[in-house]
A and B are shown apart, each in its own frame.
Chain A
Amino acid sequence: MRFQLTDDQRALRDGVRDLLAGRFDRDALRTAVDTPGHLDRALWRALGDAGFFALCLPEADGGVGLGLPEAVLVFEEAGRVLLPGPLVATHLAAGTVPGAATGEAVVTAPAGELLPWRDASDVVQGDATGAVPLASVDPLTPLHKLPGPHAPRSPQAVLLTAAEQLGSATRTCELAVQYAREREQFGQPIGAFQAVKHLCAQMLVRAELARAAVYAAAVTADPVETAAAELLADEAAVRNARDCVQVHGGMGFTWEADVHLHLKRAWVRAGTGRTARETEEELAAAL
């Protein structure tokens, strides 16, 4: 048993982090916020060229031929930088929808009662009849609401979304720690005060517990492990973002700080698919 990243997995993670730092930096993030509903097709193609969507497609079909653990690492990086777009649906459509694997096509799919990015997508996989626009809380995720009963999301979709939540939870922990080291009050960095320090420590604990759950679910592909990963990653992303706002104080409550974008995306991701109540019921039934 070696439940650690392999050298190849580390290299993959670092490569994706570098790619995103170059193609989707903070300026690009704020530009995206200022142009709601607009999806950067050049960026989408660049992601396709880098193998983002074809990662799990077999090599015989023109893909990279990697597995769920690698996909989880890549989506964690996407979650860190708040990369916009129907990433999970397009990734899962690679090999079935023409152009999805290369980033030529943008594919979306219903997630619970919500349908993200309908207008900017080329293909909607699944039934979108009766979808009505919703004023989305997340400026980076346009939403439609669907009527009627909803088909459950695939376990892969659930897990990749959890991986994005994990990336966001890790990032807001880092942002809080960075701010707490720099911001001075009462003659010392606020991070020296235990009240702030303990908030930050709890953020790390939440993120690390979610990480263990998400990575284990990626390795085992077990439905109960996946449910545990979903529950803990949703909680880590939402609660860490809230604590990050708190550590930033008044600045955290402004539009200028990025942390509200993490919180809003975390809420949207947690709202697509099963509710926490349904996930907890599934976990209870497995006992």
Chain B
Amino acid sequence: MDLTYTDEEEEFRARLREWLASVLPGLPPKPSPNDWPGRRAYDLGWQRRLYDAGYAGLHWPADAGGRGATPTQHLIFLEETEKAGAPYVGANFVGLLHAGPTIAAEGTPQQRARWLPPVLRGDEVWCQGFSEPDAGSDLAALRTRATRDGDHYVVSGSKIWTSHAEVADWCELLVRTDPSAPKHRGISWLAMPMDAPGITVRPLRTLAGSAEFAEMFLDDVRVPVANRVGEENDGWRVTMVTLSFERGTAFVGEVVACRRVLGELAAQARKNGRWDDAVLRRRLGRLNAEFRALWRLTQWNVSEAEQAGGVPGTGGSVFKLRYSHARQELFDAAAEVLGVAGALDTDQEWTLDRLSSLSYTIAAGTSQIQHNIVAERILGLPKDRPGQRPKDLQKGGR
């Protein structure tokens, strides 16, 4: 067990810090949360700077245009950029963390050449067309149909929770290509151009008031067969490749940010007199233990991934379960620090964060689904088989 970094890793960190210090003061102020074109321009502008400095696609394999960095180097990158207050990956999230790595792992040479460089350069934005109104956590129940017509698929259906749909150039789309196959088979992974005729995007307003994501309606949209990544009807396996990337690295920077917020809460409480409240103090002390441990768990998981050749392990589900709830507790504590009026004021950043934190136990697999994953895949408990229960149980309660 070793928590010291190698000379090489420390050198990487020092160079990164130096670069961040030189580039951050020149950045324009962050855009308003609801201005999509503004946010796109801002986020891609940051991606372009990363690209020019050689930090784009740090964790991507070198033959896909990335830096082939180790998981520890990626951890350092996320830690330092967050500490320095650098912009978040933002509109480039799906391209950089989902679609890109999937295409790098599963795409043909032509597909890699077409789609990967624009993501790294910050020229094109991707969105994710996975979830449907009736297929959220039960993703394999999706119904959007794609039927072959010559060298095109004709796609009809609807998608939901599609972040950045309004400004995306491409969509990583899951479609059902064989309706007669069992639900996990018969799914294909397509890259759909967002300017194709037949696509309607309708923004969805979140409970925090922001337009984070959208509904997407697909009406006979023609997608070239050449845009399919992986074999026809093999999309579920390709999707699992995508999701393992999502859970592996998505929250690293956020834990660093939460630890910073915790320090700010203590400073604010000392300033406004709330620090005299022993119950609040103890809550903040407990959160200090939690977020320190979550950061150590992150380092543990990254080290484990490094030993396993870069593949994220099951520790991601354990982490996400605790982190998503701890984040909600953190911003509940922030509301206490702000006091009654402050906690109800949506001009306060912490109030908006408190509202947004409600999504963490739902997005990327609800806590209930994560509990099942931990119990079944890590602890080896049997699967629930509702269809095979005794008849008297199924009738129970009616």
Instruction: Please report A residues at the B interface, Cβ cutoff 8 Å.
Output: 1-6, 9, 69, 173, 177, 180-181, 186-189, 191-194, 196-198, 200-202, 204-205, 208-213, 215-216, 218-220, 224-225, 227-229, 231-232, 277, 279-287
Contacts and interface: CB of A to CB of B under 8 A. Distances in A.
Given A194-B368, A201-B372, 6 more contacts: A192-B381, A204-B378, A209-B322, A212-B293, A283-B285, A287-B266
A6 B1 contact: yes
Contacts of B290: 209, 232
A218 B1 contact: yes
Contacts of B393: 186-187
Given A1-B9, A204-B378, A284-B281, A232 B3 contact: no
Interface in B274-294: 278, 281-282, 284-286, 288-290, 292-294
B194 interface: no
Interface stretch (B54-62, B296-304, B340-348, B355-363): B296-304
A1 B76 CA distance: 11
Contacts of A280: 281-282, 285-286, 289
A23 B389 CA distance: 44
14 contacts: A1-B6, A69-B1, A181-B380, A181-B381, A191-B381, A194-B372, A197-B376, A200-B375, A202-B371, A209-B290, A210-B293, A216-B292, A232-B289, A280-B289
B5 interface: yes
B307 interface: yes
Given A4-B304, A287-B288, A198 B371 contact: yes
A192 B384 contact: yes
Contacts of A197: 371-372, 375-376, 381, 384
A216 B378 CA distance: 23
Contacts of B134: none
A181 to B, nearest CB: 6
Nearest to A208: B318
Chain A contact residues, majority secondary structure:
helix
A203 to B, nearest CB: 9
Contacts of A286: 288
B1 A219 contact: yes
A209 B284 CA distance: 17
B9 to A, nearest CB: 7
B331 to A, nearest CB: 16
B389 A186 contact: yes
Nearest to B259: A287
B286 A231 contact: yes
B111 interface: no
Nearest to B320: A205
B364 to A, nearest CB: 16
A187 B379 contact: no
Contact of A1 (B2, B379, B382): B2
Contacts of A285: 285
B385 interface: yes
Given A177-B381, A228-B288, A280-B285, A194 B296 contact: no
